[in-house]
Structure 1
Amino acid sequence: MDFAALIGKVAGLVTQGARGDAALRQKGRGGVPPRPAA
């Protein structure tokens, strides 16, 4: 297993998740109050 690739993939997913969560919070999820990510 290529640990460097795995770490890079996880870091990318975390970054995308943070961006997506911020976008959802700005939208308010269609009227649903924003919640912190579990």
Structure 2
Amino acid sequence: VEVRVYGNDPQSIDRSTYDLETDKITIFRTQKRDN
């Protein structure tokens, strides 16, 4: 199970994932993409 939290800025989104099984929180940033 992953819980994802998205930032308020769509240009540079900070996301954090929390793994209930490993009790680990990972924060990472997605780059802006032009589709």
> Which TM-score band applies after superposition, normalised by the shorter structure?
under 0.3
Q: Greater strand share, 1 or 2? A: 2
- State the TM-score, normalizing by the size of structure 2: 0.25
TM-score of the pair, normalised by structure 1 = 0.25
User: Bigger radius of gyration, 1 or 2?
Assistant: 1
